[in-house]
């Protein structure tokens, strides 16, 4: 198992980024490595961090401005080789179809439900760190 898992958190709202960090905590599951965070407030920052490599999973705010997390997700899924899995925060359950359009691997509604976020993120991290895992993230 690797020493840490790196989670990129994208939102133009510092409070949303903080909610995500606090919900996930230091380790989303006992069988996963501790998490370190990379916070991004802009789309260019997300692209820069992904190009550097080392990101294991992304949490993208679908309500971010001016570039929403779903648009960012679709862009990086098209442009980044071996793009890390993405969890998108959606404003309402009816937006789940947009999360599917964006190619998100999972979606949960905002405001952040710590249990739902942690469970979905743990599934994505397991899948990323151990590709033989067959678990499916909730949508």
Q: Rounded CA gap, 99 and 49, in Å? A: 22
CATH class of segment(s) 5-129: alpha beta
Least Cα distance to 98 among 77, 128, 68 occurs for 68
pLDDT of residue 1: 63
Give per-residue pLDDT as tens, 47-82: 999 999 999 999 999 999 999 999 999 999 999 999
> Which stretches of the chain are DSSP H helices?
14-24, 43-52, 69-79, 96-101, 114-129
Q: What is the mean pLDDT of residues 85-101?
A: 94
Position 134 pLDDT exceeds 80 = no
Segment 16-48, tens digit of pLDDT? 999 999 999 999 999 999 999 999 999 999 999
Least confident residue range of 83-97, 105-119, 125-139: 125-139
Task: Give this prediction's pTM.
Answer: 0.92
Q: How many CA atoms within 13 Å lie on the side-chain side of 66?
A: 1
- Does the pLDDT at position 136 exceed 60? no
């Amino acid at each position: 198992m690797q020493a840490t898992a790196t989670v990129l958190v994208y939102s133009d709202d510092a409070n949303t980024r903080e909610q995500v960090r606090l919900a996930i905590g230091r380790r989303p599951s006992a069988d996963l490595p501790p998490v370190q965070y990379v916070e991004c407030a802009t789309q260019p920052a997300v692209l820069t961090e992904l190009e550097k490599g080392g990101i294991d999973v992304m949490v993208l705010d679908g309500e971010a401005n001016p570039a929403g997390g779903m648009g960012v997700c679709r862009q990086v899924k098209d442009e980044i080789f071996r793009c890390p899995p993405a969890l998108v925060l959606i404003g309402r359950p009816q937006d789940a179809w947009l999360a599917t359009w964006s190619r998100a691997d999972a979606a949960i509604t905002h405001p952040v439900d710590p249990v739902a976020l942690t469970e979905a993120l743990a599934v994505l991290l397991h899948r990323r760190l151990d590709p033989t895992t067959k678990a499916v993230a909730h949508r």
